[in-house]
Amino acid sequence: MSTDSPATAAQVLQEASRRRTFAVISHPDAGKSTLTEALALHAQAITSAGAVHGKGGRKGVTSDWMELEKDRGISVTSAALQFGHRDHVMNLVDTPGHADFSEDTYRVLSAVDCAIMLVDAAKGLEEQTRKLFSVCRHRGVPVITFINKWDRRGREALELLDDIQNILEITPVPQVWPVGNAGNFRGLVEAADTEQFLKYTRVPGGTHEAEEEAMDAAAAEAVEGELWPTALEELELALDSGPGWDPQAFREGKITPVFFGSALTNIGVRLLLDAVVDLAPSPDAREMANGDHRPVEEEFAGIVFKIQANMDPAHRDRIAFIRVCSGVFERGMNVTRAASGRSLTTKYAHTVFGAERTVADICYPGDVVGLINATALRVGDTLYVGKKAEFPPLPAFAPEHFAVARPKDISRSKQFRKGISQLDEEGVVQVLTSDRRGDQAPVLAAVGPMQFDVVLHRMEHEFSSPIVLERLPYSLARVTDAAGADVLNKARLVTGEPLTRRSDNALLALFGDKWQLNSFVRGNPDVKLETLIATAD
């Protein structure tokens, strides 16, 4: 760091060591948003936990701030929550659960240092969970496992651990063990202290922390009978079948610590939150695009992993979420945008808690800061001070669903163009244009059809320009060049649809299916047709 920095390298390292930046990943309906709310409750960041649908007079969950999320009871966009726990700063980035919004989740995983993998006790490892775990492994993000809904009927604990071992090829190491089968949840015993039983009493509605009573082994057996020795035997069997706890193996993705509980009734959540402090890694040197690593004590550098408009309906502004990767971020400092080399002043900076904001005067590695109305920024941008830094690009998915968007009211054309442009910048959909259609009838490209529902809702309610969507009969997109475009146009393979151009100026050819694509490739092997973007598989 430079000598005129407000913090020394030692101070930055100390502050970074207090940060835990993590995400919760799961299949839809595994309880991800409920767990996010429970973690905030146990950290005393909120006074009562909300319900996913806000049922029974309960408020909605803090991380689901968008009206569409409240209406449907699912997360469709990521949200950041910052709170304190045990003298640590916790940066929890909530993620969408539905597979149609995987791209947003994958971006979030590039901005965290650890992930909590949520597993439904009855359903076990579901498809979306497996995919997201694979991304964590690819990106080197260590995973803590929380087996949720143990207060409901489900599978055997040892059977679930076998699935984790065999399907994910990672060794589960239990840190706690349930006393009582799924659906008959009596309490927990910690692997490090099998002479103590933690018995829980549910709080009606799960709005507050469950009452926790610690008792010794003799009292536990007196109260729970055979359930107590059975739990100890199962725990011993689970521990004996693995290598035991090893912090280095955890960080290398070879083992995953396992916890049991119920997010809805706030049982076992405190132990999980403590584990994030005790086990999850703090920010470390981050790899850059050129293969070098930028130490956390170096001057400021950060990456834009999300852009969101209209979080504050009263102001209709735009916020760029930046993960601080190194150094000290100070509100008002001048930073350089790596993509353009131009300077940017960070006057309006906030930390966020759901939709709520607090002015951020200073942030350290691991923190998430929101820059308000920094219109030049795009998802994946690197910002830095001093020595140039540029982090690897964030992943994008190959779209599989396409639709033409048109305004219902042509007098709202200005609002239509503004809304479509904003949704493209946020990555809600990819927006494709062509000379024939112009900007009044762009093609929207999506990973999943639910993204179109988000577009319809936000265009009407946020941008005051209701739209109609005309679905197109394509399922594949490939990037080509000018020479390839000439061949494609002459072959007339893009029937009824001209070649489209993405906002990054890439030329995209659309194909109806893989057979049409393969047929063209066989006849034109020299034409450039590249994905250049990842897939959700």
Binding residue numbers for GTP: 94-98
Q: Tokens for 380?
A: 């994946």
Rounded to 10 degrees, the C-alpha dihedral 102/107/113/116 comes to: -20
Alpha carbon 75 to chain centroid, angstroms = 10
> Secondary structure of 160-172 in the HEC alphabet?
HHHHHHHHCCCEE
At 183 the three-state DSSP class reads coil
Q: Tokens for 244?
A: 């035991």
- Please state, in angstroms and rounded to a whole number, the distance separating the CA atoms of residues 77 and 450: 12
- Please state, in angstroms and rounded to a whole number, the distance separating the CA atoms of residues 342 and 430: 25
Q: Tokens for 153?
A: 């009927």
Q: Tokens for 51?
A: 């319900």
- Write out the DSSP string of 286-348: EE-TTS-EE-TTSSPEEEEEEEEE-SSTTT--EEEEEEEEES-EETT-EEEETTTTEEEE--S
> Secondary structure of 457-505 in the HEC alphabet?
HHHHHCCCCCEEEEECCCCEEEEECHHHHHHHHHHCCCCCCCCEECCCC
Phi, psi for 463 (deg, rounded to 5): -110, 5
Helices (H), 45-85: 67-72
At 252 the three-state DSSP class reads coil
CA-CA distances (angstroms) from residue 526 to 45, 478, 481, 484, 522?
Answer: 58, 14, 11, 9, 9
Sheet with strand 401-407: strands edge to edge? 430-432, 443-446, 401-407, 467-471
Q: Which residues pair with 212 in a beta bridge?
A: 200
